[in-house]
Chain A
Amino acid sequence: MRATVHVRLKRSVLDPQGQAIHQAVRTLGYEGIREIRQGKYFEIELEEGLSPERARALLERLAHEVLANPVLEEYWVEIEGDAR
């Protein structure tokens, strides 16, 4: 079972990297792009036999404790084949 954890800065937090990319993109002549914010995601391969419920609970905890810093970032978990 594969899962993805997405992590991004909260909207209220300044994203200097996204701003730098946006500025470069504008310099390159791309038009129609209002804002870029940079985040990251983690591809996670789960062991077989884990129920989607257990997997979700596990990944939520992992995201909260390790992958994201909840002071600055928010996250969401996607599990392949589990459309919640």
Chain B
Amino acid sequence: MKFGVVVFPGSNCDHDAYHVISKVLGQPVDFIWHKQTALGDYDAVILPGGFSYGDYLRAGALARFSPIMGAVREFAARGGFVLGICNGFQILCESGLLPGALMRNRGRRFLCQFVHVRVEATDTPFTQLYRKGQVLHLPIAHGEGNYYCDPETLAELRRENRIIFRYCDAEGNVTEAANPNGSLDNIAGICNRERNVLGMMPHPERASEEILGSSDGRALFQSLALVLAAMTRE
């Protein structure tokens, strides 16, 4: 199995993602420069956090036009696993690979803190090792994480069980007080209809080792590795 981490100008969590795959998971991983037009034989691709193109125009808006994104779109259409974290989530929304958009935080401030999120669905390659309803302690670091979509899209996300993570309190209650950025329906992460593309604002790669204050994010990468290993055996 082989992972790829796309590097845009302004990505700054690319090394964190690379570290988790190579050192914590112990799996092969490459950096993929955004100017590449083709993806090699990767099994999973990560769009990391950061400030691609300085967040000019809108967060993720210009990265969407990077040469690599055509290949990422094809890869996703073939069923390849794509994980967008933070700025990566913003890029996936701007690209239309996920619905909706991420707006300026309701409270206007850049938020850099630990939050709780509840696992809402485990039937994705990213969340198989979690329990439904499990509360994770993960960091967020964003100025534009306020998820928005139209009511029809929200109804569709709910009906198809595509809301994967929601902000909650330590006990797992999804409340307005536990919503850090004003996201619609406390949405912290969603997947596409085929469930092979996941976008999330919290940073599992920054919470995959105890020394970082939480290792709750590790199971997300382990889930991916487990699914990929099973696919290879078939």
Contact = CB atoms under 8 A, between A and B. Distances in A.
A16 B106 contact: yes
B103 A14 contact: yes
Nearest to A23: B108
Contacts of B61: 66, 69
A13 B103 contact: yes
The B interface, classified by DSSP as helix, strand, loop or mixed, is loop
B100 interface: yes
A17 B106 CA distance: 9
A66 B103 CA distance: 16
A14 B106 contact: yes
Q: Range of interface residues on chain A?
A: 10 to 19
A17 B93 CA distance: 21
Contacts of A71: 93, 99-101, 148-150
B106 A13 contact: no
Nearest to B64: A66
A5 B107 CA distance: 28
Contact of A16 (B65, B93, B104): B104
Contacts of A16: 104-108
B230 interface: no
B231 interface: no
Interface in B102-124: 103-108
Interface in A2-52: 13-14, 16-17, 19-20
Interface string B37-66: 000000000000000000001100100010
* Cβ-closest 9 pairs across A and B: A71-B101, A16-B108, A16-B104, A72-B101, A69-B101, A20-B108, A69-B58, A72-B103, A16-B106
Interface of A: 13-14, 16-17, 19-20, 66-67, 69, 71-72
Given A13-B103, A16-B104, 13 more contacts: A13-B148, A14-B182, A16-B107, A17-B108, A19-B108, A66-B57, A66-B61, A69-B58, A71-B99, A71-B100, A71-B101, A71-B148, A72-B148
